[in-house]
Amino acid sequence: MIGNLELKITDPQKQIANATSLTDRYTDAQKAKIENAAKQFESLLTSMMLKSMTKTTDGMFGDKNFGGDDFDTIFQNEIASFISKNKSMGVANVLYKKITGEDMDSKIQADGVSSLNNGVNSSLKIHDNASPIAPSTKSMDRLSRYDNIINSASTQYGVDKNLIKSVILTESAANEKAVSSAKAKGLMQLIDSTASQMGVSNVWDPKQNILGGTKYLAQMLQKFNGNVNLALASYNAGPQNVEKYGGVPPFEETQNYIKRVMSYYNHLNGAENGNDQSI
């Protein structure tokens, strides 16, 4: 708890005027940590300002209420966190830029996910907690039938082939006749509206399904600046929900979906590199 600390700030950016000089030698993982620290700093600064501003009114809830001190602290921290995440003050961005020489970018997320490199079959640099999981032998046998189509889709849309495979395994276990309760169909579980938008005339045709699903996945990767977690969340829950929640939606299904896709992805990459440690 901050206590009775008094805070008078007329220019919040002045407090970081002498930050570390510019450098471009930081890795994506380091930049993610710097961004997270910058946001935490702005959140703390905002919380202190809110406490100072509400002092004359005995806090946000006044002095005649049950548990007012605790509620004040909770709400101040939540409001401060919301403000810093939306960069309303801009302090976090200024601090980040002072250290890295770059504007804070949605490519670098606090969860440590690096951006997707541009170009065909680029290797995703994923720093997540998804342990490699080996798909069933039957699903891998089914998936192998579509290697040529997947490679073609990867080349055409610039999406890593192992990411395409991982989505197919998660969506349908490589069953081209799969249908979900939401009427999503085929290998990449396309709903009719998405299939139509992607130019798919026959959703049951494996080639059209994979090309259409990959095209949509590529669009989501582009929309969210290469952030794989957000692209996968959009594929599962829709981009409108990602935008609504400002990140991965708090849906258990979507969170489990991302974890499973990345678990398969890490397995496939590990198998290719000869260091698979699937559980």
For residue 272, what are its two tokens?
A: 């290719």
Active-site residue, selected from the candidate residues 78, 171, 176, 243: 171
Q: Annotated catalytic, 243? A: no
Nearest to 79 by CA among 119, 48, 110: 48
- Residue 256 CA to residue 249 CA, distance in Å, equals 11
Phi, psi of 185 (to 5 degrees): -130, 150
**Helix, strand or coil for residue 19?**
coil
Nearest to 49 by CA among 8, 78, 18, 89: 8
Residue 187, CB half-sphere, CA atoms under 13 Å: how many?
A: 29
Nearest to 133 by CA among 248, 274, 269: 269
The residue type of 215 is K
Nearest to 84 by CA among 52, 76, 69: 76
The sign of the torsion formed by the CA atoms of 161, 230, 100, 20 equals: negative
Phi, psi of 179 (to 5 degrees): -135, 130
The residue type of 116 is L
Looking at the annotation, which residues are catalytic? 171
